Amino acid sequence: MTAYTATVTVRLKRGVLDPEAETTQKTLERLGFELADLRSADQFEVDLDADDADSAAERADEMAQRLLANPTLHDYDVVVEEQAE
């Protein structure tokens, strides 16, 4: 077994309104920043032991499908890295 960290990033699907991001963008603009757009996302770092990177990714993918993301609202991606010794 190898120790991996699976990073699951959950984003709103394109076209789904993100009032928190809009509010954040407005406040950045009030602070004088220039920006074209801003999107928010949730990121989860999951430490897990698995036989290989593929099975770690598969387990993290299932976590995203069953809990971390809501398929009506979200897209997600999973990146797996072996933990440093």
Partner 1 sequence: MTVAVVQFGGSNCDRDAVRALDRLGVDAERVWHEDGLPADTEGVVLPGGFSYGDYLRAGAMAAHSPIMNEVRAAAEEGTPVLGVCNGAQIGSESRLTPGAFTTNRSARFQCEDVYLRVENAETPWTAAYDEGEVIELPIAHGEGRFEIDDAAYEALVDADRVLFRYCDADGEVTEEANPNGSKGNVAGVLGERENVAVLMPHPERASLAELGGSTDGQGVLEGLA
Gap between the Cα atoms of 36 and 71, Å rounded: 27
Instruction: Work out whether 73 is an interface residue with partner 1 (CB under 8 A).
Output: yes
Instruction: Work out whether 16 is an interface residue with partner 1 (CB under 8 A).
Output: yes
Q: Least CB distance from residue 70 to partner 1, whole Å?
A: 5
Instruction: Work out whether 70 is an interface residue with partner 1 (CB under 8 A).
Output: yes
- Supply 71's token pair: 């398929």
Which CB, 44 or 53, lies closer to partner 1? 44
Q: Residue 19: is it exposed, middle or buried by C-beta count within 10 angstroms (0-12/13-18/19+)?
A: exposed
Determine the interface stretch with partner 1 among 27-35, 51-59, 60-68, 76-84 (rule: CB under 8 A). Answer: 60-68
Instruction: Work out whether 36 is an interface residue with partner 1 (CB under 8 A).
Output: no
Among 17, 4, 16, residue whose Cα is nearest residue 46: 4
Beta carbons of 3 and 85 less than 8 angstroms apart: no
Instruction: Work out whether 18 is an interface residue with partner 1 (CB under 8 A).
Output: yes
